[in-house]
Amino acid sequence: MRLTPRIEENVPELPEVEVSRRRLAPMLIGRRLSEVSTSRPSRFFITDPRRLRERLPGRVVLDLVRRGKYLLVVLDDGSSLLLHLGMTGQLLCAGCSNPRLLLGGERVGERVAERAAERAAPPWPGFSPDQHTHLQLGFEDGGPAILFRDVRRFGRVMLVEPGEEVARLLRLGPDALEVSADQLWQASRGRRRAVKSMLLDQSVLAGVGNIYADEALFRAGVRPTRRAGRLRRQECEALAAALRQVLERGIETGGSSVDDFVAPDGSDGSYQTEHLVYQRDGQPCQRCGRELERVVVGGRSSHYCPSCQR
């Protein structure tokens, strides 16, 4: 019995953003930007899109850095282009053999992207930017362009000036891939909030979203509703280990398809079948057989096994 409607998979969390960074880096580093086009000003653009079109052309990409779920495109004048993919953000390569998915937002979006691709049109062969394509980066060498598409516009784009302090980056806690048991222990002391809320709090640890939080909590045997302050030392250790495990596995499975075209319907799917609890409420726990449950914590749906997680 499914209590919640099927929603999009592949919401970009740390592993998806990291895979995206690895795929994108060789396509960006060393190239000089030329034409840059954007959609209309909206909340999507923290920096006015007209300024992006004015400032970006001529810049050379030096590096591509990830901080939590953010990507920073480091440019040769000391500025950086900050990208956040929100829920449905996608980075696409236009001008590659296929409109290659560099990072998947939701599958639905891919289907739309495919349909748009079938209509095939300039400015770049293989993909015609649609109404959801908000940023297009063209390069002086005339090679593949990079597109940022985002159906729900929860993503963000910002130009960071040389030396500029960016509050939203300064707020970030340690990267979730490197968070230690001790850091979780310290962060949780005296806190009454649910541990699930703590894991989603980017100022405590950066990069974890709803899917990996649920999966890590299951593997650590901790119920999402548990008060953070009630965690025992040993549970913080289990959580830190579980986080590293699921995030690294996420990167591996995402990374394993780097060289393959991602099927529009996501049917290659070695990936979503690895979720042990996420969106599996009503199904039997793969460890103990008990029916998995769903509860809302901090306004986010959480999935857990009432037997395995205490």
Which residues contact DNA by CB under 7 A? 4-7, 11, 13, 42-43, 68-69, 84, 86-87, 108, 111-112, 132, 151-154, 168, 171, 190-194, 197, 200, 202, 209-211, 228, 296, 298-301
> What is the spatial order of strands in the sheet that 33-38 belongs to?
33-38, 133-139, 145-150, 89-94, 100-103
Q: Which is nearer to DNA, 227 or 233 (CB)?
A: 227
Q: Which residues sit opposite 150 in a β-bridge?
A: 89
Based on the residue annotation, tell me whether 13 is a catalytic residue of this protein. yes
Interacting residues of 109 by C-beta distance below 8 A, sequence separation 6+: 8, 88, 90, 132, 149, 151
* Smallest distance, DNA to C-beta of residue 149, A: 11
Q: What Å distances lie between residue 1 and 5, 165, 282, CA to CA?
A: 11, 49, 5
H/E stretch holding 50 reads helix 49-55
Based on the residue annotation, tell me whether 196 is a catalytic residue of this protein. no
Catalytic residue of the set 12, 15, 99, 224: 12
Taking Cα atoms as reference points, which of 189, 199, 204 lies closest to residue 300? Answer: 199
Based on the residue annotation, tell me whether 300 is a catalytic residue of this protein. yes
Q: Which is nearer to DNA, 53 or 191 (CB)?
A: 191
* Smallest distance, DNA to C-beta of residue 277, A: 12
Catalytic residue of the set 67, 248, 300, 306: 300
Catalytic residue of the set 31, 66, 69, 226: 69
Q: Which is nearer to DNA, 53 or 153 (CB)?
A: 153
Q: Which is nearer to DNA, 33 or 211 (CB)?
A: 211
Based on the residue annotation, tell me whether 2 is a catalytic residue of this protein. no
* Smallest distance, DNA to C-beta of residue 227, A: 8
* Smallest distance, DNA to C-beta of residue 20, A: 14
Torsions phi, psi of 62, nearest 5?
-95, -35
- Annotated active-site positions, please? 12-13, 69, 300
